Amino acid sequence: SAKVKRKTFVSDGEAASDGKDLRQQAGEIMAYMKANNYEVLEAGETITFRGLVKKSLSQALFLTFCTALGMASLALVLQIQFQDLTLPGIGSPNWFYLTLLGPYAGLFYWRSGDRLDDIKVKLLSSDDDTENEIVVEGNDDEIERMWRTLDLREKGMVKVEGILAA
């Protein structure tokens, strides 16, 4: 299951210059979620979106590769550490057979399959309408993508332009 986090973001409200009212902000969030295959599950004070995160062949292959590489590293260490080891009935073990466990990591990932992902969004406005507050609870990776795409600021943080941003 995915790591669930709760974060609060702010954007300029309708009273600020170049600000957005809550309806416009909600529309942008709704459009973002629809574009990323999320559907509205529940709408009230808090809007709950549900999306299906599909399993990825490239991720399964990457896990297989990383596990095989890790097992090969372990085999190398065991080969050096136990050079003179002789097991009864087997003889001298070939530790590099451990790399054959690599595909099982990809198979395990593939069998766990698709997962449902819920994201909860709550919109609030400051009393003087200068700031919109967006409380988001859900998958950490999806929240990260969302705030970058919608150009939101995390509450209490100051946005500093990078040296190469031009």
The pLDDT value recorded for residue 113 is: 75
The C-alpha atoms of residue 133 and residue 10 are separated, in whole angstroms, by 5
Q: How confident is the model at residue 160 (pLDDT cuts 50, 70, 90)?
A: low
Which residue is associated with the tokens 């909600």? 26
- Number of Cβ within 10 Å of residue 113's Cβ equals 9
The C-alpha atoms of residue 38 and residue 91 are separated, in whole angstroms, by 57
The pLDDT value recorded for residue 165 is: 63
Q: How confident is the model at residue 76 (pLDDT cuts 50, 70, 90)?
A: very high
The pLDDT value recorded for residue 103 is: 94
pLDDT tens digits for 15-72? 777 777 778 888 888 888 888 888 888 887 888 888 887 888 998 999 999 999 999 9
CB 129 within 8 A of CB 14: yes
pLDDT tens digits for 124-156? 877 777 777 888 898 888 888 887 887 777 776
Query: Is residue 28 helix, strand or coil?
Result: helix
The C-alpha atoms of residue 11 and residue 24 are separated, in whole angstroms, by 12
The pLDDT value recorded for residue 90 is: 82
Q: Quick one: tokens of 34?
A: 């629809």
| Mean pLDDT score of the chain | 84
pTM over the 0.85 mark: no
